[in-house]
Amino acid sequence: MRLATWNVNSIRTRVERVTDWLARADVDVLAMQETKCTDAQFPALAFEALGYEIAHVGYNQWNGVAIASRVGLDEVSIGFDGQPGFGKDGAAPEAEARALGATCNGVRVWSLYVPNGRSLDDPHLEYKLEWLAALRDTASGWLAQDPEQPIALVGDWNIVPRDDDVWDISAFVGKTHVSPPERAAFEAFNDAGFADVVRPFTPGPGVYTYWDYTQLAFQKRRGMRIDFILGSPALASRVAAAEIVKDERRPRKGTTAPSDHAPVVVDLE
């Protein structure tokens, strides 16, 4: 089974690039983030034409997560237990479209779009840390209930776990993504039993999954590793190969602009 995750940065804008890659890459399950559309706007027919079932949650033009599977799509869950919401300007917190789970050929896949954090003094950072803590606690409960369950927590984590996961750590002093609380929140998943199953096959430094659109960041190799597949012990033991498909970040003539993220793929035995 080939499992992938990709922050597509607007599925309606990039549906042809995504489905073209799916056909070429022979992917069985694709988790997507930042679809930026409602459920009614999601271009499901393009995926169904390739034999994929679709689960999606999107409430407006922000956020949005999806799972496309050609090996089964069962037990779909919108959000996880305890998932916090975010309230703007003192309003009551509302759930955002950031987490979607489904069982695909026996593997429990969660497509996750972790809040950005924005800045160290922004309320969104507190929300991000609360969101991650809630996910960790819930995921720990899943493993406690069934230690042999293959679980994949995949998506855009908006965290740089190590200094060499970014092109120049000095450029991020006093900024989010690299702060000690965020890194500790990410490491807590490893402590809970979830391993980064891609890094052993894609060691750094200089191995990234995201490059900003501005200032020729991709051409200058100014990237960040922020997209991950974290696996439970039962899933990690099945990983035979993994890759970051950097070529899908490259512009191509005759197609829409690429996402600012690259797909991340694992092959499961």
Which residues participate in catalysis according to the annotation?
113, 156, 261
Is 156 part of any known ligand binding site? yes
Q: pTM of the entire structure?
A: 0.97
pLDDT tens digits for range 156-176: 999 999 999 999 999 999 999
Is 124 part of any known ligand binding site? no
Is 158 part of any known ligand binding site? yes
pLDDT tens digits for range 202-238: 999 999 999 999 999 999 999 999 999 999 999 999 9
pLDDT tens digits for range 11-21: 999 999 999 99
* 124 HSE (CA, 13 A, CB side): 13
Is 260 part of any known ligand binding site? yes
| Spatial contact of 22 and 68, defined as CB atoms under 8 Å apart | yes
Is 7 part of any known ligand binding site? yes
Pairing state of beta strands 29-33 and 65-69?
A: antiparallel
For 153-232, where are the alpha helices, taking DSSP H only?
A: 180-191
Instruction: Evaluate whether the domain defined by 2-268 bears CATH number 3.60.10.10.
Output: yes
Please report, for the chain, the start and end positions of each structural domain, with discontinuous segments joined by +: 2-268
Alpha-carbon distance 150 to 154, whole Å? 13
